Amino acid sequence: MDNIDTKLSSLGCTLQFWHKKKISLVVGGGIAAYRVLDLIRGLKAQGAEVTVIGTEAATRFVTPLTFHAISGHPFYGDLFHPGEEGGMDHIRLAREADLVIVAPATADLMAKMAHGLANDLATAMILARRGPLLVAPAMNVAMWEHPATQRNVERLKGDGLVFCGPEAGALACGEEGMGRLAGVDTILEAARRCLEDKTLAGKHFLLTAGPTREELDPVRYLSNHSSGKMGWAIAQAALRAGAQVTLVHGPVHLPPLWGAKMVPVTSACDMFAAVMDCWETCQPSRSLDAIILTAAVADFRPVVRSSEKIKKTSSMTPMNIELEANPDILLELGRRHGAMENHQRPILVGFAAETGRAVERGREKLARKPCDLLVVNDLMEEGAGFMVDTNRVTLLDRDGLEETWPLMSKDAVGARLVEAVAARF
Ligand code: CTP
């Protein structure tokens, strides 16, 4: 029951965010126009209101009636249509929208936008726009890679427009390459980021997440049940607040986070190397502000990794596998930070997943592992395990802080933890 409540509360937060947000969606004339119908549905499902403005070419792919039916609002396509504002639709639509999304942004539409042309309702509305504007391009790979298109993209980015995609993959024209419209979830997330307060702009977060795998042979490994969800939720919250995020992660079944630098690794040694590499790159310019280590790093690895599959023989029982200790990322960072002035070192946050007496064991861990904050959870508690979408955590610090948060969605824990870290900057 608790679980359902927290899931609903997380959904409630998302719905609250989008509630009555006004989106003007400009649809360009490309085959991907049919895919924006799902985008309209996704925006509406979150509580946003969508008005569609299409180019003449867009209506060759999807009819105005379809846009009207799916969005629940009249379709706008004619610059000279005497609308409610006496032919001033382009000004009203630009002014009243919380966000303008251009999807699919064709090569032609972006060329017009880059040069400030305004010879139809869509381009006139874009030119009249003062607030945030998100562009999701889609086209043939050769058109995308053409220097003229790339010049226009750079110019539009310079004008402050936010780009989402295109993505690589199979294209409608039969070719493979860059040019696919970004997925609906990616565009929704990009849209949300355009509207969030950028309280962490200029800050850089480094995170670890997920399990590590320690290979025994080409087919077997030692690992744990970590799903990576907690790390993903924290990274997402930091990205939404405008931070730059580097996410070093073990093997997980989660989609890459839009806008994050994703660094996939396999073993604890790989993870250690990737984190130290980032730390060493950033340290001279002090361009790292927080390090949050959520990964369930394997403490040990097999001393020998067999290059061939280990065969079963009758003399093998009991089977003994000799293990050696993995490097400890948190300990090493704590050691490095110990030699630095307070104001020069990033805030270091560790996680402790315990099974019983969690706070007490957390305190012991904090004494051993020199981090600024330790987030403790008890895996034996309902709703606080590895694979679930919720967590119940207690925050400990070196000055005796002990703050227990109620059972919440991992998204909510992530957002609150990012706030707690930001409060320490
Ligand atoms: N950690 C790490 N590198 C390791 C092991 C752990 O960076 N090789 C980090 C984890 O990401 C986490 C914190 O240290 O932030 C605590 O991890 P945990 O496995 O609970 O701690 P251990 O010191 O290994 O203690 P335990 O005996 O409970 O496993």
pLDDT in tens, 203-235: 999 999 999 999 999 999 999 999 999 999 999
Instruction: Using the mean position of ligand 1's atoms as its centre, give its distance from the Cα of residue 50 in Å.
Output: 47
Look up tokens 């019983």; give the residue. 356
> pLDDT value at position 239?
98
pLDDT (average), residues 1-10? 48
Strand order in the sheet with 261-264: 261-264, 244-249, 204-209, 290-293, 347-354, 373-378, 393-397, 402-404
pLDDT at 15 over 90: no
Positions annotated as catalytic residues are 173
Per-residue pLDDT band at 1 (split at 50, 70, 90) = very low
Per-residue pLDDT band at 2 (split at 50, 70, 90) = very low
Q: pTM above the 0.85 mark?
A: yes
Bigger pLDDT: 12 vs 97: 97
pLDDT in tens, 291-302: 999 999 999 999
For residue 42 the two structure tokens come to 């996704």
- For atom 18 of ligand 1, the residue with the nearest CA is 352
Q: Is the CB of 5 under 6 A from ligand 1?
A: no
pLDDT at 10 over 70: no
pLDDT in tens, 301-341: 999 999 999 988 877 788 889 999 999 999 999 999 998 98
Bigger pLDDT: 22 vs 82: 22
Nearest CA to 226 out of 211, 213, 215, 239 is that of 211
Q: How far apart are CA 135 and CA 159, in angstroms?
A: 12
- From residue 367, alpha-carbon distances to 51, 233, 333, 342, 354 in Å are 56, 27, 15, 18, 16
CB-CB neighbours of 425 under 10 Å? 10
Q: Is the CB of 332 under 6 A from ligand 1?
A: no
* Ligand 1 atom nearest residue 361's Cα: 28
Bigger pLDDT: 12 vs 218: 218
> What structural domains does the chain harbor?
18-195 (3.40.50.1950), 204-298+325-424 (3.40.50.10300)
Q: How far apart are CA 353 and CA 60, in angstroms?
A: 56
* Ligand 1 atom nearest residue 350's Cα: 15
Q: How far apart are CA 184 and CA 167, in angstroms?
A: 12
pLDDT at 177 over 80: yes
> pLDDT value at position 385?
76
Look up tokens 């607030």; give the residue. 131
Bigger pLDDT: 79 vs 293: 293
For residue 66 the two structure tokens come to 């379809």
For residue 306 the two structure tokens come to 């067999």
Per-residue pLDDT band at 83 (split at 50, 70, 90) = low
> pLDDT value at position 172?
85
CB-CB neighbours of 154 under 10 Å? 11
> pLDDT value at position 68?
97
Nearest CA to 359 out of 334, 337, 384 is that of 384
- For atom 20 of ligand 1, the residue with the nearest CA is 352
For residue 113 the two structure tokens come to 């936008």
CA-CA-CA-CA torsion sign (379, 382, 384, 388): positive
Q: Is the CB of 104 under 6 A from ligand 1?
A: no
